[in-house]
Amino acid sequence: MTDEDERMVLDAEGGETLLYDYFKHLTQLSLFSLGGVLALAGSARGARGLLIAALVVIGSSALISFSGAGEIVRTRFQGKPIAKYLDFYRISAPILLSLGLGIFLFLFIKTLGPA
């Protein structure tokens, strides 16, 4: 193998490793966010529907990012190329996490404000 071939292999593997680490850390961040929302959920008594929506959206982010990491492991184990829909996972997971945290912050600030 020439140096150029080795660099191409390392770049391809590095991309998969980077994407796997991204999904792994996004899963952790989503789970920590779920824990934080659940810990502070007692203060949002009047808006249970929005609180449940925030939990569902953040949970969906965790599920999507965990599924993305699992898909990378599965395709790598089977020796197949990475699927195209992982790009959808890469984009949708942080959007859902941001949306869920935004809903929760809205509720949190609303409960702190004057009633």
pLDDT value, residue 9: 46
Cα dihedral sign, 92-96-98-99: positive
Over the stretch 61-102, which tens digit does the pLDDT of each residue have?
999 999 999 999 998 888 888 778 899 999 999 999 999 999
Instruction: Determine the structural domain holding residue 34 and report its residue range.
Output: 3-112
Under DSSP, the state recorded for 53 is: H
For range 11-31, the mean pLDDT: 85
Q: What's the pTM?
A: 0.81
In the chain, the percentage of residues whose pLDDT exceeds 90 is 49
Over the stretch 28-62, which tens digit does the pLDDT of each residue have?
999 999 999 988 887 666 678 888 999 999 999 99
